[in-house]
Amino acid sequence: MQITLKNEQDIARMRIAGQLASEVLDYIAPFVRAGVTTAELDRLCHVYMREQQQTIPAPLNYQPSGYPPYPKATCISVNDVICHGIPGDKKLKNGDILNIDITVIKNGYFGDTSRMFIVGEGSILAKRLVNTTYECMWLGIHQVRPGARLGDIGHAIAQRAHAHGYSVVREYCGHGIGTVFHEAPQVLHYGRPGTGLELKAGMIFTIEPMINAGGHETRTMSDRWTVKTRDRSLSAQWEHTVLVTPSGYEVLTVSTGSPQPPALFHSV
C-alpha cells in the first residue's frame, strides 16, 4: 500500500479537521454523567457536528469489507469494550470508564481522536489504567520524527503498558489518515525498536493504543462491531492524529479542552 505524503494545503486542512474532531469531545464532556445513555451522547455529538460544525461523522454507515454498515455517528466503548462500541440504551453508572471516539470529515479531510472518561469516582485500578494508557499514547507520540521507525512507537507504548502488568491489543492499530479514513501505514502498538517503516516528514497517522488490565485477547460480539476483552477485564484507549514534521511531530487533534500531555513531558 502506498503511503501518501501530505503537502502544505493538505496539512492545513488536516489541522482544521483534527481541531473539529477534538472540539466534539470538548462539547460532549459535560454530558458524560451517571444516568445518561450512550445513544444520547451519540445523538448530541451528531447534532453538534451537523448543526454547529457542518462536519460529517465518518463512522456512520462506514462499511469496511467483511463488516455490516456501522450504525452510529460515534464509537462509545464502556468498561470491557475495547473499541467500536455501538452507542445504545444502556445508562452510564458511577465507576464506569468509557472511550468516546470521534472521526469527522471536513472538506473531504478526516480528523480522528478519542478520549477516556470516568463516570463519578472511578476505582484505583480504573484510574491507573486510564492514566497509564494516556502515558502510553504520549510515549508513542514522543517517538515521532523523521528517521524514527514505526517499531519505535510500538515499543515505547508496549514497554510502559507491560511495566504496569497490562497487555496491548494486537488486532487493532493506528492508521494513516487524510482524505481516506483508514490508509497505510498500520501503526502497531507493540514492536521492536529500529524496525518497521521509516517515518518521513509529511506523513500523517493516528496513534491509538488499546490497553487491557488483563489479557490481550479479544472477542467480537454478534453485532460484528463491538470488540470486548475475552477475559472481561477493563480496557482503555486514547487516540490522536499526528503529523511528522521536519523536526519531530505535531498533534493535529487539539482544541481548548484537550487534556495536557502527562506530567512526564512537563519539564524541559
Binding residues for a divalent metal cation: 101, 112, 175, 208, 239
Query: Does residue number 250 form part of the binding site for ligand MF3 (CB under 6 A)?
Result: no
What does DSSP assign to residue 149?
B
Query: Does residue number 70 form part of the binding site for ligand MF3 (CB under 6 A)?
Result: yes
Query: Does residue number 112 form part of the binding site for Co ion (CB under 5 A)?
Result: yes
What's the first-to-final CA gap in the chain, in angstroms?
A: 38
In this chain, which residue has its C-beta nearest to ligand MF3? 59
What does DSSP assign to residue 96?
-
Q: What radius of gyration do the chain's Cα atoms show? A: 17
Cβ at position 221, least distance to ligand MF3 in Å = 13
**240-245 and 174-176: which strand pairing?**
unpaired
Angle ∠(14,17,22) on CA atoms, nearest 5? 120
Determine the size of the site formed for ligand MF3 (CB under 6 A): 12
d(CA 215, CA 17): 35
62 binds, among ligand MF3, Co ion, none (CB under 5 to 8 A by kind): ligand MF3
Cβ at position 29, least distance to ligand MF3 in Å = 18
Query: Does residue number 103 form part of the binding site for ligand MF3 (CB under 6 A)?
Result: yes
The length of the chain is 268
Contact residue for Co ion among 23, 80, 96, 101 (CB under 5 A): 101
Which residue ranges are tagged as binding site? 84, 101, 112, 175, 182, 208, 239
Which contiguous run of DSSP H or E holds residue 244? Answer: strand 240-245
- Cα 245 to Cα 8, 40, 65: the distances in Å are 11, 38, 33
Residue whose CB is less far from Co ion, 206 or 218: 206
Query: Does residue number 183 form part of the binding site for Co ion (CB under 5 A)?
Result: no
Query: Does residue number 79 form part of the binding site for Co ion (CB under 5 A)?
Result: no
Would you say 204 and 8 are in contact if contact means Cβ atoms under 8 Å apart? no
Residue whose CB is less far from ligand MF3, 128 or 255: 255
Binding part of the chain for Co ion, among 64-72, 80-88, 97-105, 164-172 by CB under 5 A, reads: 97-105
- 174 φψ region: left (φ > 0), alpha (ψ -120 to 50), beta (else): beta
Pick from 117, 108, 105: nearest CA to 34: 117
Query: Does residue number 206 form part of the binding site for Co ion (CB under 5 A)?
Result: yes
Contact residue for ligand MF3 among 80, 152, 183, 208 (CB under 6 A): 208
Query: Does residue number 55 form part of the binding site for ligand MF3 (CB under 6 A)?
Result: no
Q: Which residues bind ligand MF3 (CB under 6 A)?
A: 59, 62, 70, 75, 84, 101, 103, 112, 206, 208, 225, 239
